[in-house]
């Protein structure tokens, strides 16, 4: 039995790494898509793709009635969860379009301290001294990144930070929504709601799909990798490892983004920008580890990065 348990845990670490790597690849893939499409148009397509994939391969195993039979409270929190998710994902991709995807990946780690802060405010979770240290290190990283940021990246910087704020709010809402709606149903209906919201905004804004012919394979790939593959591997890792360990491994996602962005797009952040990003990641890891050591508090892990 111990040998089997050890094997399961090793598999969990591998799957968690795959999930982090997949998120890194998805970020770079999104950057490539955004060279030809607007963030709104891309979101319309990737969440429609994700919904179609899950409808074909997942919905028949659960059943339509079982999936959509939810309480009033469940629908309320699910709807709020979908709205904040839509805002978070749009702001993130709008920021990625304006800056180096590696910097965006580092900066988006700000969702971790923001999620913990949201838990303190709304769920009355305690802030330990270790988490204070982690927060200060993370804030120092953000300050370093902003102080050394190239001027052309300024708009992207604030858009990604806005996305991190909404991701933190989404994490708070997901904690409540999961009390009423099963996780897989929540993910499926969220993807569907987000696709509908994006298409409504798309038609109201009179946007164009011009350029799709150049990158349609990337759009389909991102629709599979973001909301489907990365999310499933994340959940599989959680089945084998503690949430804290999966969260720490998830902080490696910017490393994969840097590597893939350099190899495929030739993009590389400056030394100072990287230093700020590393400080931010270290601060996030400290917060996750210190929160794990105090079971009386709840781990505020920003899980929705894996759903992009």
| pLDDT tens per residue, range 137-194 | 888 888 888 887 777 788 999 999 999 999 888 878 887 888 898 888 888 999 999 9
Question: Would you say 29 and 257 are in contact if contact means Cβ atoms under 8 Å apart?
Answer: no
Distance of alpha carbon 8 from alpha carbon 34, whole angstroms: 38
- 56 closest CA partner among 240, 268, 247, 228: 228
What DSSP assignment string belongs to 91-134?
HHHHHHHHS-HHHHHHHGGGHHHHHHHHHHHHH-----HHHHHH
Distance of alpha carbon 153 from alpha carbon 38, whole angstroms: 17
Counting Cβ atoms within 10 Å, is residue 225 exposed (0-12), middle (13-18) or buried (19+)? Answer: buried
Q: What is the DSSP letter of 307?
A: G
Question: Would you say 107 and 157 are in contact if contact means Cβ atoms under 8 Å apart?
Answer: yes
Length of the chain equals 308
pTM of the model: 0.85
Q: What is the DSSP letter of 225?
A: I
The residue assigned the tokens 């898509």 is: 33
Buried b (16+ CB within 10 A) or exposed e, 11-42: ebeebbbbbbbbbbbbbbbbbbbbebbbbbbb
Dihedral sign (CA 38, 41, 47, 53): negative
| pLDDT tens per residue, range 194-217 | 999 999 999 998 678 888 988 999
Is residue 188 within a helix (H) or strand (E), and if so which, with residue range? helix 183-205
pLDDT tens sequence for the chain (308 residues):
455 456 777 888 888 889 899 999 999 999 999 999 999 999 999 999 999 999 998 899 989 999 999 999 999 999 999 999 999 999 999 999 999 999 899 998 888 888 777 777 776 666 677 778 888 888 888 888 888 777 778 899 999 999 999 988 887 888 788 889 888 888 899 999 999 999 999 999 867 888 898 899 999 999 999 888 887 888 778 777 776 677 788 888 898 999 999 999 888 888 888 888 889 888 888 887 776 665 444 444 444 444 45
């Amino acid at each position: 039995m111990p040998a089997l348990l050890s094997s399961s845990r090793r598999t969990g670490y591998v799957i968690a790494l795959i999930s982090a790597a997949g998120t890194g690849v998805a970020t770079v893939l999104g950057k490539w898509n955004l060279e030809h499409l607007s963030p709104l148009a891309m979101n319309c397509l990737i969440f429609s793709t994700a919904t179609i994939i899950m409808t074909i391969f997942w919905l028949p195993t659960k059943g339509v009635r079982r999936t959509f039979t939810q309480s009033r409270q469940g629908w309320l929190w699910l709807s709020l969860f979908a709205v904040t998710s839509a805002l978070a994902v749009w702001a993130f991709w709008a920021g990625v379009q304006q800056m180096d995807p590696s910097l965006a990946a580092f900066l988006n780690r700000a969702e971790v301290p923001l999620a913990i802060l949201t838990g303190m405010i709304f769920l009355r979770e305690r802030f330990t001294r270790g988490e204070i240290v982690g927060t200060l290190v993370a804030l120092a990283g953000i300050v370093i990144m902003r102080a050394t940021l190239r001027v052309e990246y300024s708009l992207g910087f604030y858009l990604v930070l806005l996305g991190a704020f909404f991701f933190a709010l989404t994490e708070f809402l997901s904690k409540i929504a999961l009390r009423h709606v099963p996780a897989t149903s929540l993910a499926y209906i969220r993807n569907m709601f987000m696709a509908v919201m994006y298409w409504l905004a798309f038609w109201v804004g009179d946007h164009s799909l011009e350029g799709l012919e150049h990158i349609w394979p990337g759009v389909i790939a991102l629709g599979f990798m973001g909301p489907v593959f990365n999310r499933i591997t994340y959940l599989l890792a959680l089945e084998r490892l503690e949430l804290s360990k999966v969260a720490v491994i998830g902080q490696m996602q910017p490393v994969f983004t840097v590597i893939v962005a350099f190899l495929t797009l030739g993009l590389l952040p400056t030394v100072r920008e990287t230093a700020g990003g590393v400080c931010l990641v270290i601060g996030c890891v400290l917060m996750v580890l210190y929160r794990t050591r105090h079971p009386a508090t709840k781990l505020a892990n920003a899980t929705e990065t894996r759903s992009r």
